[in-house]
């Protein structure tokens, strides 16, 4: 995303803002973000507000439930939604995002996490990762049936390592947002999830990303809600966010 696109949208925002009712202009933009990008989205939102004066309210949501109804929830339309590319396609088919508003944001790889205080396992090579997975008692991952790409990627990983059968007895399948919870409450001693999720979660240590040859990055994109109250401002924020992250850039870490 080129910076001049943000500048053009910001100018349009200033020109169109006066046409909106005062209550709408004063309300913050509602941004619904997948947990994998929550921290960098909040950081970018703060910088966007500093530059434009437009406030944003950034929420982490369970995208499986959100995709079904929340964009059209009465009284609380979301202006911006940030999800993985597969879920965005589903939203587009359901006409829950504005046509032409899709914006590529980042590609995030899968990593391994363990509870805080546990020894960090070796995941630096395919052979080491295979030994680590086979040595684990319980491995948390997103249920592939919930349309979570990290879970589907984990099953592909097990197959490529030749350990699909033994991992069936070890796998703890939960909805995406609950993967790290299994580590935090002691129901799993290993977890596979987006690296950014594992790096941000309290009570979790990030052991490292999957080895390069086994990595399957997940694409995350943003769009404007079909019932966004401030679609021009929403597009300006998406352009700003894309310019900061870039399609292949990793999200910034908190200072």
Q: Which CATH class is domain 110-214?
A: alpha beta
> By the 8 A CB rule, do 184 and 201 touch?
yes
Q: If 0-12 CB within 10 Å is exposed, 13-18 middle and 19+ buried, where does residue 86 land?
A: middle
Give the pair of three-digit tokens for residue 199: 């790096």
Q: Is the pLDDT at 231 greater than 80, yes or no?
A: yes
Segment 11-42, tens digit of pLDDT: 555 544 444 444 445 689 999 999 899 999 99
Spell out the domain ranges in the chain. Answer: 3-107+219-245, 110-214
CA 15 to chain CA centroid, nearest Å: 32
pLDDT at 6: 54
pLDDT at 187: 96
> By the 8 A CB rule, do 224 and 101 touch?
yes
Give the pair of three-digit tokens for residue 179: 């993967």
Closest-CA residue to 206 (of 214, 215, 217, 194): 194
Q: Is the pLDDT at 203 greater than 70, yes or no?
A: yes
Q: Is the pLDDT at 64 greater than 60, yes or no?
A: no
pLDDT at 158: 97
Sorting pLDDT into bands at 50, 70 and 90, what band is 255?
very low
Segment 90-132, tens digit of pLDDT: 899 999 999 999 999 999 999 999 999 999 999 999 999 999 9
Question: 3-107+219-245 architecture in CATH?
Answer: 3-Layer(aba) Sandwich (3.40)
Segment 135-166, tens digit of pLDDT: 999 999 999 877 679 999 999 999 999 999 99
The CA dihedral of 232, 234, 238, 244, to the nearest 10 degrees, is: 100
The residues, any chain, with a CB within 8 Å of residue 15's CB and separated by 6 or more, are: none
> By the 8 A CB rule, do 191 and 115 touch?
no
Q: What are phi and psi of 52, to 5 degrees?
A: -115, -20
> By the 8 A CB rule, do 187 and 172 touch?
yes
CA distances from 44 to 18, 34, 51, 55 (A): 25, 15, 11, 12
The residues, any chain, with a CB within 8 Å of residue 79's CB and separated by 6 or more, are: 29, 30, 31, 224, 225, 228, 229, 230, 231, 233, 234
Cα separation, 224 vs 102, in Å, equals 8
pTM: 0.82
Cα separation, 1 vs 249, in Å, equals 11
Question: Strand 190-194 vs strand 110-115: parallel, antiparallel, or unpaired?
Answer: antiparallel
């Amino acid at each position: 995303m080129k910076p001049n696109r943000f500048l053009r949208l910001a100018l349009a925002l200033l020109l169109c803002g006066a046409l909106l009712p005062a209550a709408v202009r004063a309300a913050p933009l509602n941004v619904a973000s997948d947990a994998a990008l929550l921290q960098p989205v909040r950081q970018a939102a703060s910088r966007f507000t500093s530059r434009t004066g437009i406030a944003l309210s950034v929420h982490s949501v369970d995208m499986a439930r959100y995709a079904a109804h929340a964009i059209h929830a009465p009284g609380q339309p979301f202006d911006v939604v940030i999800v993985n590319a597969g879920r965005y396609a589903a939203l587009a088919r359901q006409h829950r995002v504005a046509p032409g508003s899709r914006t590529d944001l980042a590609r995030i790889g899968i990593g391994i996490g363990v509870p805080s205080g546990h020894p960090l396992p070796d995941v630096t090579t395919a052979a080491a990762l295979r030994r680590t997975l086979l040595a684990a008692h319980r491995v948390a991952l997103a249920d592939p049936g919930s349309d979570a790409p990290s879970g589907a990627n984990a099953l592909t990983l097990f197959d490529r390592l030749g350990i699909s059968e033994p991992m069936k007895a070890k796998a703890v399948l939960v909805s995406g947002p609950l993967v790290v919870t299994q580590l935090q409450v002691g129901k799993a001693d290993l977890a596979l999830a987006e690296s950014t999720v594992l790096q941000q979660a309290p009570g979790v240590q990030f052991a490292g990303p999957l080895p390069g040859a086994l990595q399957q990055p997940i694409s995350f994109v943003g769009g404007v809600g079909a019932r966004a109250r401030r679609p021009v401002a929403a597009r300006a924020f998406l352009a700003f966010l894309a310019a900061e992250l870039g399609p292949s850039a990793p999200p910034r870490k908190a200072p």
